[in-house]
Amino acid sequence: FLGVVVDKGDGTIEITFPDVGRPLLFTARADGLWQNPDYGWRVAAITNASGVVTNLAVNAMVFDRVGFVDAWAPWAIAVNIALVICALAWWGWTNGFLSRRLFAEPEAMIGLAPRLAGYLGVTLTLVLLVGFGVLLATRPTVAILHGPDLVMRVLLYLPVAIAVCAVPMTVWSVIGFGDGPRARFAQVGYALTTLAIVVVLLFAWHWNLHPFAQL
């Protein structure tokens, strides 16, 4: 997995390696390759019949050129936004529940069933994202991919449970919770939370972070 490859315009290229933690500069060689002076790694561009670069070979590893949908950066931005929305929704529903029970606040506009589905959905989504974040921060990527332990296997099944919550949430997001400003405001917030959960599900599906990827 490579990050962005940048042509510096002076015969050098800059490649981001996630495991290294910083971009590495590669200088051009006379034989058409690029080499990094720090690690000695060599890079070769592989082109198709039209001369378009389709792959990049780094030593013995070959990496595919990916488009926008397969790039990591857009997904990372979308998932981080979804994480913030889910965290705010979880805090809001938790705070609302405690306020109604402890301080006799007005009853919620959203019914019990939609609230339960939403609360479970955002809770599982937060567990999924935080769980993967902790794994990536504490274990090498290669170890995660080639030796999934029990925690990893449990996390891979969470998108299925999240999808079960997301289906009725989508329906409630469309039909709403009644008329009036409070009901409309609640519907918008609920729909935004549902959209955040769907984004995480699309992320999990696209990057094969689900049990069906093993079939």
pLDDT tens sequence across 55-113: 888 887 777 666 666 677 788 899 999 999 999 999 999 998 888 878 777 777 888 99
Mean pLDDT on 141-159: 75
**Residue 3: pLDDT band with limits 50, 70, 90:** low
| Exposure string for 116-126, b = 16+ CB within 10 A, e = fewer | ebbbebbbbbb
- CA 156 to chain centroid: 13
Q: What is the rounded average pLDDT for all residues in the chain?
A: 85
The DSSP-derived string for 35-94 is E-TTT--EEEEEE-TTS-EEEEEETTEEEE---TTT-HHHHHHHHHHHHHHHHHHHHHHH
pLDDT for position 215: 46
**Residue 143: pLDDT band with limits 50, 70, 90:** low
- Which range is least confidently modeled, 19-28, 123-132, 201-210? 19-28
In the chain, % of residues over pLDDT 90: 38
Better pLDDT: 11 or 175: 175
Look at residue 35 and tell me whether its pLDDT is greater than 70: yes
Structure tokens at 177: 């919770």
Look at residue 148 and tell me whether its pLDDT is greater than 70: no
pTM above 0.85, yes or no: no
Strand partners, 16: 23
pLDDT for position 163: 97
